[in-house]
């Protein structure tokens, strides 16, 4: 080899190795920096080091014909790869990616056959966007060998192990030499890489050899520690070429997408992520001597923000405890675990729960990256353009009306696209008849394209690379923010209308969790109407529908159990709002297809309300009314309850509440329901004069919202004038014969089986 070559094995997203890498680069001063990353995205490397690029960002490659097939390579400020790029840009060194090109990684199918890989490789990867910097490696040891070594050494946190074992090594030796040695030993015990892994390493070896021939100055190779022994191994170039021969290629586009620090975390499903991005960022930003002190200070700040008292003296004690713990465990300085345990013991008074409430903010961070304006076009925009072409929807800056028939394929697909865009905050279309969107098979939209929608789409790139994926990702984020059952149920409904099955699945799971946690009657009952809507309009797949129905039952049962307790001791406004919620829930339940058990649970709760002497009168009246409507309460019984509630022993305000609860909005019922009318009439007549006058304002209030016509009909009914029909109108004898046919036509019209000429 002509030039001096050094291979630096790093830990992906390891602040410790990033710091050491910068020092090593300063020392070596290479003319060429080779970085592990898709070779065909090399021209984007200078852009990564652009000052306007604010990590966390991700390098994104996707197949031109199918943006859903995409790969992300995320970079944080403390990623050694990012620091290497910045170093090269500062020093004017040439930089290049050397890993296997994304074009062959994203090539459709038969990758296994070409590279001789294991047949069991997950095929899901073909379709799902993969997020990885060590793609396809199934073994955690290959993804993060340093983390694996740390775990073997009893450490939870790889960075603390790095510092204690690699950096604080009592016999000072070059860090990267030590890493290479450790990896050689590790790889001797591990199976020889196969398939894709072998091809990647072959490609990197060839790229390094080629660079060595071209370059005069020293060369630095920055790659995952696991690969160091393989890249330093002497393998004939011919053998490597054979591995890469006739690899299929796909046309790809490479660009950058803004990323978020929580997404760097392992928990978000990113294989080569870091468990605690917030801790890593802290390690990177803080001078080595102050790590413990400043970390504890940040914990204290987070606790104070949550309203907990933390004194400076406690901080001192926490640090002392951390140091003592480290020495008990035989570690040179307190690491992440020691600091956590000291913080729990001294600052959180032993409560792990308290730690768990503040730690996500500290550990995951909330940084959102941003990308410069001159990066290539984002795939979401391309996907939208493609969808627009396919569905023949042109973006226009003018208002344009669009009526969609959801029974036709194209209508449904257009509606789905518009609904998905709405979820992404791109209000290209607005529903003209807002409210119930799938109550009918018809939707009316008003379309108007605004330029800022493009920006919105780029922002949404963080959620996914296609409209469908981004909308689903966006819903995922909103699910985790939603606090109330109703909000969750609404989101599930939105996910169903936008046809996002995986979001629906997650939403149902979240609903279940939340339903178990809450015992707030109002929250439980308020969730029933959207759930019933969701079930009724049949958008859900069978499996989801079954789950939703079970959930609805469960929420119903829970709500029914707590309803009697929730109805006690309410003031006027709380009672009125609970009444509205009960009425809505009851209306929803009457429309839902429920089993006998559920009906009886709900009615049992209403009956309990009626019996409970502590229940607020308005609610008890409402319960009586609903039970009566459902046929559970005979007219005489209803009258009996009314009589009891309005007996002289009870306070007038309470009596009025019961009466109002029963009759509010039910004037019509009195006109048509003879049994009830008779019962109430009998009761009123049984009152003696004085009591009657006392209750008069009450009756007046109950009948005040009947209009004149209704009042007159009520009166007519009472004194027995012309019973069923309107006064002055008579039934024609021949009408009786026409009526059945008329009814049939009406029915057909209403169910939509009969179409008028205009509709065709």
Partner 1 sequence: MTVAQLPTEALRLPVEAVYAAELEALKRDDAQPKPQGWAMSPRAALIYLMGGKAADGTPISAKYVGDKRLIETAIATLATDRALLLLGMPGTAKSWVSEHLAAAVSGDSTLVIQCTAGTDENQIRYGWNYAQLLAHGPSRKALVQTPLLRAMEAGKLCRLEELTRMGSDVQDTLITVLSEKMMPVPELSTAVYAVRGFNVIATANNRDKGVNELSSALKRRFNVVVLPLPDDMEQEIGIVVKRVGEMSQALELPAPRNVAQEVARVVAIFRELRGGATLDGKVTLKSPSGTLSTAEAIGVVIGGLSHAAFFNGGALSAEGIAPNMVGAIVKDPVQDKVVLEEYLETVLKKRSDYAAYYHLLSDLV
Q: Rounded to the nearest whole angstrom, what is the least distance from the CB of residue 739 to partner 1 in the complex?
A: 47
Question: Taking the complex as a whole, how short is the minimal distance between the CB of residue 277 and partner 1, in angstroms?
Answer: 23
Does residue 111 contact residue 196 with C-beta atoms inside 8 Å?
A: yes
Q: Are strands 130-131 and 66-75 parallel, antiparallel or unpaired?
A: parallel
Q: Which is nearer to partner 1, 119 or 330 (CB)?
A: 330
Nearer to partner 1 among residue 374 and residue 480 (C-beta): 480
Cis upstream peptide for 482 (omega within 30°): no
Q: Which is nearer to partner 1, 123 or 352 (CB)?
A: 352
Does residue 519 interact with partner 1 by CB under 8 A? yes
Among the listed residues 337, 443, 490, 523, the single contact to partner 1 using CB under 8 A: 337
Element (H, E) at 402: strand 400-405
- 67 vs 526: CA distance, rounded Å: 40
Task: Answer for the pair 421, 467: CB distance below 8 angstroms, yes or no.
Answer: yes
The closest of 590, 573, 480 to 529, measured between CA atoms, is 590
Which listed residue (233, 324, 477, 726) binds partner 1 by CB under 8 A? 324
State yes or no: residue 293 binds partner 1 (CB under 8 A).
Answer: no
Hey, what's the torsion of the CAs at 688, 689, 693, 696, to 10 degrees?
Answer: 60
339 binds partner 1 (CB under 8 A): no
Selected binder of partner 1 within 456, 536, 554, 674 (CB under 8 A): 554
Q: Does 376 bind partner 1 (CB under 8 A)?
A: no
Considering the rule CB under 8 A, would residue 692 count as an interface residue with partner 1? no
267 counts as binding partner 1 under rule CB under 8 A: no
561 lies in the site for partner 1, by CB under 8 A: yes
User: Do 694 and 652 form a contact (C-beta atoms < 8 A)?
Assistant: yes
Judged by DSSP in three states, 631 sits in coil
Q: Structure tokens of 175? A: 């860090």
- Find the binder of partner 1 among 46, 350, 372, 648 (CB under 8 A): 350
What region does 540 belong to: left with phi over 0, alpha with psi -120 to 50, or beta? beta
Regarding 513 and contact with partner 1 (CB under 8 A), the answer is yes
Q: Does 352 bind partner 1 (CB under 8 A)?
A: yes
Q: What is the CA radius of gyration of the chain?
A: 35
39 vs 89: CA distance, rounded Å: 18
CB closer to partner 1 out of 58 and 348: 348
Only one of the segments 116-124, 346-354, 441-449, 454-462 lies at the binding site for partner 1 (rule: CB under 8 A); that segment is 346-354
Question: Helix crossing, 501-517 with 542-566: angle to 10°?
Answer: 20
Applying CB under 8 A, the span of 22-30, 173-181, 324-332, 453-461 interacting with partner 1 comes to: 324-332
Can you spell out the DSSP letters for 230-259?
A: HHHS---HHHHHHHHTT-----EEEEEEE-
At what angle are helices 689-703 and 652-663 packed, to 10 degrees?
40
Within 8 A by CB and 6+ apart from 745, the residues are 754
Asked if residue 215 lies in contact with residue 209, where contact means CB atoms within 8 angstroms, the answer is: no
333 binds partner 1 (CB under 8 A): no
State residue 404 phi and psi, 5-degree precision: -120, 135
Task: By CB under 8 A, name the one of 320, 389, 611, 721 that touches partner 1.
Answer: 320
What part of residues 578-637 is at the interface with partner 1 (CB under 8 A)? none
> Does the footprint of partner 1 cover residue 84 (CB under 8 A)?
no
With helix as H, strand as E and coil as C, how does 471-521 read?
Answer: HHHHHHHHHHHCCCHHHHHHHHHHHHHCCCHHHHHHHHHHHHHHHHHCCCH
Q: Tell me how far apart the alpha carbons of residues 667 and 307 are, in angstroms, rounded to a whole number.
A: 52
Q: Given the complex with partner 1, which of 232 and 317 has the nearer CB atom?
A: 317
Contact 709, 727 (CB under 8 A): no
- Note whether 577 binds partner 1 by CB under 8 A: no
Query: How far is residue 5's CA from residue 207's CA, in Å, rounded to a whole number?
Result: 13
Q: Using CB under 8 A, which of 558, 570, 598, 671 touches partner 1?
A: 558
**Between residues 480 and 725, which has the closer beta carbon with respect to partner 1?**
480
| Min CB(397)–partner 1 separation in Å | 49
Shortest Cβ distance from residue 220 to partner 1 (Å)?
41
Q: Which is nearer to partner 1, 212 or 561 (CB)?
A: 561
State both tokens at 301: 């700040």
Interface pick for partner 1 out of 184, 345, 357, 427 (rule CB under 8 A): 345
- Per CB under 8 A, 565 contacts partner 1: yes
With binding defined as CB under 8 A, does residue 49 bind partner 1? Answer: no
Find the binder of partner 1 among 50, 126, 232, 317 (CB under 8 A).
Answer: 317
Q: Does 249 bind partner 1 (CB under 8 A)?
A: no
Q: Which is nearer to partner 1, 24 or 326 (CB)?
A: 326
Torsion of CA 300, 12, 53, 60, to 10 degrees: -130
Q: Which of 679, 621, 609, 689 is nearest to 653 (CA)?
A: 621
Nearer to partner 1, 346 or 679 (CB): 346
Between CA 360 and CA 364 the distance in angstroms is 6
312: contact with partner 1 by CB under 8 A: no
- By CB under 8 A, name the one of 516, 591, 675, 718 that touches partner 1: 516
Single residue of 28, 49, 557, 607 touching partner 1 by CB under 8 A: 557
User: Is residue 397 at the binding interface for partner 1, with CB under 8 A as the rule?
Assistant: no
With contacts defined by CB under 8 A, name the span among 305-313, 380-388, 636-644, 742-750 that binds partner 1. 305-313
CB of residue 516 vs partner 1: minimum separation in angstroms?
3
Stretch that binds partner 1, among 125-133, 516-524, 689-697, 714-722 (CB under 8 A): 516-524
Contact flag: residue 517 with partner 1 (CB under 8 A):
yes
Phi then psi for residue 281, to 5 deg, are: -60, -40
End-to-end CA distance of the chain: 78
Q: How far is the CB of 301 from partner 1 (least distance, A)?
A: 18
- Tell me the β-bridge partners of 548: none
Binding of partner 1 by 349 (CB under 8 A): yes
Q: How far is the CB of 16 from partner 1 (least distance, A)?
A: 23
> Which residues of this protein are in contact with partner 1, per CB under 8 A?
309, 311, 313-314, 317, 320-321, 324-325, 327-330, 337, 341-342, 344-346, 349-352, 512-513, 516-517, 519, 554, 557-558, 561-562, 565
């Amino acid at each position: 080899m002509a030039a001096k070559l050094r291979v630096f094995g790093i830990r992906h997203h390891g602040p410790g190795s990033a710091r050491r890498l910068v020092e090593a680069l300063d020392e070596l001063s290479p003319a060429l920096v080779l970085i592990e990353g898709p070779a065909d995205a090399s021209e984007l490397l200078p852009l990564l080091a652009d000052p306007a690029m604010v990590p966390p960002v991700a390098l994104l490659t996707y197949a031109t014909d199918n943006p859903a097939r995409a790969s992300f390579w995320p970079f944080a400020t403390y990623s050694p790869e990012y620091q290497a790029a910045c170093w090269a840009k500062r020093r004017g060194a040439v930089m290049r990616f050397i890993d296997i090109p994304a074009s062959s990684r994203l090539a459709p199918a038969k990758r296994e056959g070409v590279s001789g890989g294991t047949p069991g490789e997950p095929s899901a990867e073909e379709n799902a966007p993969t997020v990885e910097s060590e793609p396809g490696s199934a073994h955690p040891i290959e993804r993060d060998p340093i983390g694996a070594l740390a775990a073997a050494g009893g450490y939870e946190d790889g960075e603390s192990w790095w510092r204690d074992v690699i950096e604080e090594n009592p016999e000072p030796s070059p860090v990267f030499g030590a890493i290479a040695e450790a990896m050689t030993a590790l790889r001797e015990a591990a199976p020889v890489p196969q398939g894709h892994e072998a091809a990647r390493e072959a490609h990197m070896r060839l790229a390094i050899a080629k660079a060595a021939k071209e370059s005069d100055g020293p060369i630095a190779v920055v790659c995952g520690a696991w690969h160091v022994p393989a890249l330093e191994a002497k393998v004939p170039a011919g053998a490597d070429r054979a591995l890469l021969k006739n690899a299929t290629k796909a046309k790809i586009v490479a660009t950058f997408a803004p990323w978020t620090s929580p997404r760097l975390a392992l928990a978000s499903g990113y294989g080569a992520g870091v468990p605690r991005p917030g801790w890593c960022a802290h390690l990177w930003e803080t001078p080595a001597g102050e790590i413990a002190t400043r970390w504890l200070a940040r914990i204290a700040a987070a606790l104070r923000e949550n309203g907990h008292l933390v004194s400076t003296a406690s901080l001192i004690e926490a640090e002392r405890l951390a140091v003592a713990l480290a020495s008990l465990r035989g570690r040179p300085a307190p690491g992440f675990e020691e600091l956590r345990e000291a913080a729990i013991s001294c600052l959180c008074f032993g409560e792990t729960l308290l730690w768990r409430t503040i730690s996500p903010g500290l550990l995951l961070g909330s940084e959102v990256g941003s990308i410069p304006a001159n990066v290539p076009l984002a795939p979401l925009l391309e996907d939208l353009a493609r969808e627009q072409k396919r569905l023949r929807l042109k973006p226009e800056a003018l208002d344009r009306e669009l009526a969609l028939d959801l029974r036709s394929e194209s209508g449904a697909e257009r509606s789905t696209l518009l609904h998905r865009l709405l979820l992404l905050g791109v209000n290209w279309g607005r529903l003209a008849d807002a409210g119930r969107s799938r109550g009918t098979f018809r939707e009316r939209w008003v379309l108007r394209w605004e330029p800022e929608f493009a920006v919105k789409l780029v922002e949404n790139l963080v959620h996914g690379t296609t409209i469908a994926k981004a909308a689903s990702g966006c819903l995922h984020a909103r699910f985790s923010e939603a606090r109330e059952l109703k909000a969750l149920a609404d989101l599930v409904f939105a996910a169903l209308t936008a046809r996002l099955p995986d979001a629906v699945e997650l939403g149902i799971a979240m609903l279940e969790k939340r339903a178990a946690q809450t015992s707030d009657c109002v929250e439980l009952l308020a969730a029933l109407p959207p759930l019933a809507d969701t079930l009724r309009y049949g958008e859900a797949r069978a499996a989801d529908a079954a789950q939703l129905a079970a959930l609805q039952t469960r929420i119903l049962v829970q709500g029914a159990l707590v309803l009697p307790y929730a109805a006690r001791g309410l003031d006027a406004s709380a009672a009125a709002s609970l009444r509205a919620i009960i009425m809505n829930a009851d209306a929803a339940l009457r429309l839902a297809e429920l089993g006998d058990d559920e009906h009886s649970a709900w009615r049992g709760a209403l009956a309990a309300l009626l019996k409970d002497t502590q229940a607020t009168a308005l609610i008890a009246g409402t319960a009586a009314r609903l039970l009566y409507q459902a046929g559970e309460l005979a007219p005489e019984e209803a009258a009996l309850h009314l009589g009891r509630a309005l007996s002289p022993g009870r306070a007038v305000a309470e009596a009025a509440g019961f009466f109002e609860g029963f009759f509010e909005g039910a004037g019509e019922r009195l006109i048509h329901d003879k049994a009830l009318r008779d019962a109430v009439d009998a009761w009123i007549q049984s009152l003696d004069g004085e009591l009657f006058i006392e209750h008069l304002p009450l009756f007046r209030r109950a009948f005040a919202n009947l209009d004149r016509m209704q009042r007159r009909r009520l009166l007519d009914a009472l004194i027995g004038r012309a019973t069923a029909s309107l006064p002055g109108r008579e039934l024609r004898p021949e009408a009786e014969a026409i009526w059945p046919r008329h009814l049939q036509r009406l029915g057909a019209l209403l169910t939509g089986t009969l179409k008028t000429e205009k509709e065709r």
